[in-house]
Amino acid sequence: MQATLRPTTLPPSDWQRLVSLVLPVVAVGALVLGIVWRNPGLIGGGVVALFAIWNASGGALFPFLHRWMPLTNRHVGRQVRPQTVRREKDDVEAQPTIESPAKHLAKRGPTNETSTAELVQSMIAQGRFALLLRPETGAELPRSDIENVLAVMDEMVSVVPEGRVLVGEYADRATWGATPTSPDSPGLEWVDGCYLDRFAVTNAQFQHFVDAGAYEEFPLWPDEALPALFEFVDRTWVPGPSLWRDGRYPEGEGNYPVVGISWYEAFAYARWVGRRLPTDAEWTKAGAWPVETSPGRVTQRRYPWGDNFEARRASLWSAGQSAPQPVDAYPDGASLGGVCQLIGNVWEWTDSFFDVPSREGEVSGHGLKVIHGGAYNTYFENQATCHFRSGERPLSRRANIGFRLALSFDVVADPEEAPEEATPLTEELASTL
């Protein structure tokens, strides 16, 4: 047995290699010549020789190739592929899994209390505190965190109480005493209570939205806006407001209202931070601060500060400004609820459609959205009242239109229902923040 195996395990000598090379060549040559010359003898001899070589070499036409293979490769070669696959599999399993920060925080287990605090601070820094106040989130955050978030929110928003308010041209007539109000007066709308931002959304706040890649987060955007996303770029063709460069706002203007954004961009930002755009009626009520002296009989202000226009209280044409000013300028123009710059500086998007009644009584706004408040370049003061409204195309990205956000009362968690201590955030919940 050993005598039989020994020659196959030793490296082949030079003469063996030569013979292994010559014999197949001779056999093939005889076969080819026989075919060319049509010689049955050469054809038969070539076929017989090739068959003999094939049979003697165990199926290798050129035996030297088979014999030159190292013993380990020849006998273990079949195991190379499974071993390689096994090593690759092990390498894949050893690689760290890339996951979102929220999922990572949700899995940290023993350090969950610290992780939750980090998540809360990060969300507050991005202006996304409203997401932490949703009932499903508040049920898993400690009461202390909920109270801290509410304290931050109190500094940033004002309360718009529930009640009736006159909107549009009907309110304008009523403030001049031309049309008395009654429970069935046209233009009289009911508003549920809500929170409204004290200031318009700033460049610095919107920068978080841009940095987070939200322009590529399609679920944030209405379906009809998706084809237009390629148009929502800045001066350097980077996603962002139209007046920015390289995805950054102008230096020194972090506290200025973000402008050059369409209604769709305002809508997507609102969804990203967990809030919404105010309705026409909510915006009007925040500024006009109506008082219902009897059922359906409403008295409300023409301007946030009263019924008479005062140029020093707002940034309109009469103030001599050639561009938007910081959002906390003109504090004397704030409403009774503490909402600043409802009048002047920049127009503001709302969530309502601009409905215009035709002569035939039909209402059509041609897809326009209501904007309110006037801007630094608004010449006529009667276009900058709490009631005056204009319409603008949702895709418009004008340099004098910004926005502020609202939040309904019923989506805010009750701190009394929050647990005393932190509980582990579920992966599903954390991934939505």
Does domain 157-411 correspond to CATH entry 3.90.1580.10?
yes
- Output the pLDDT for position 43: 74
- Output the pLDDT for position 147: 87
Q: Summarize pLDDT for 237-277 with one digit per residue, the tens.
A: 999 999 999 999 999 999 999 999 999 999 999 999 999 99
Counting residues of the chain whose pLDDT is more than 90, the rounded percentage is: 52
- Output the pLDDT for position 99: 37
Q: Which residues of 66-98 are buried (b: 16+ CB within 10 A; e: fewer)?
A: bbeeeeeeeeeeeeeeeeeeeeeeeeeeeeeee
303 pLDDT band, cuts 50/70/90, is very high
Q: Summarize pLDDT for 318-374 with one digit per residue, the tens.
A: 999 999 999 999 999 999 999 999 999 999 999 999 976 555 555 555 689 999 999
Site of tokens 């990060």: 122
**Of residues 40 and 261, which shows the higher confidence score?**
261
Counting residues of the chain whose pLDDT is more than 70, the rounded percentage is: 68
Most trustworthy range by pLDDT among 41-55, 63-77, 391-405: 391-405
pLDDT at residue 67 greater than cutoff 70: no
Query: In angstroms, rounded to a whole number, what is the distance separating the alpha carbons of residues 21 and 416?
Result: 91
What is the DSSP secondary-structure string of 272-333?
HHT-BPPPHHHHHHHHH--EEEETTEEE--SBTTBSS--GGGS-SGGGT-SS---TT--GGG
Nearest to 263 by CA among 393, 407, 391: 393
69 pLDDT band, cuts 50/70/90, is very low
Site of tokens 């959205």: 369
pLDDT at residue 398 greater than cutoff 90: yes
Q: Quote the tokens at residue 313.
A: 């209280």
Alpha-carbon dihedral 345, 154, 266, 372, rounded to 10 degrees: -40
- Among 47-56, 96-105, 333-342, 396-405, the range scoring the smallest mean pLDDT is 96-105
* Mean pLDDT calculated for residue range 42-54: 69
- Among 122-131, 136-145, 188-197, the range scoring the smallest mean pLDDT is 136-145
- Output the pLDDT for position 17: 56
Contact call for residues 290 and 297 (beta carbons, < 8 A):
no
* Mean pLDDT calculated for residue range 188-200: 95
- Output the pLDDT for position 29: 78
51 pLDDT band, cuts 50/70/90, is low
pLDDT at residue 117 greater than cutoff 70: yes
pLDDT at residue 40 greater than cutoff 80: no
pLDDT at residue 5 greater than cutoff 70: no
Q: Quote the tokens at residue 201.
A: 């959304």
pTM (two decimals): 0.70
Nearest to 200 by CA among 134, 127, 151, 130: 127
Q: Phi first, then psi: what are they for 23, rounded to 5°?
A: -55, -50
Query: In angstroms, rounded to a whole number, what is the distance separating the alpha carbons of residues 44 and 23?
Result: 16
Nearest to 273 by CA among 166, 407, 181: 407
The domain segmentation of the chain, as residue ranges, is 2-90, 101-142+418-430, 157-411
Q: Summarize pLDDT for 82-110 with one digit per residue, the tens.
A: 333 343 334 433 333 433 334 433 443 44
Query: Can you tell me whether residue 242 is helix, strand or coil?
Result: coil
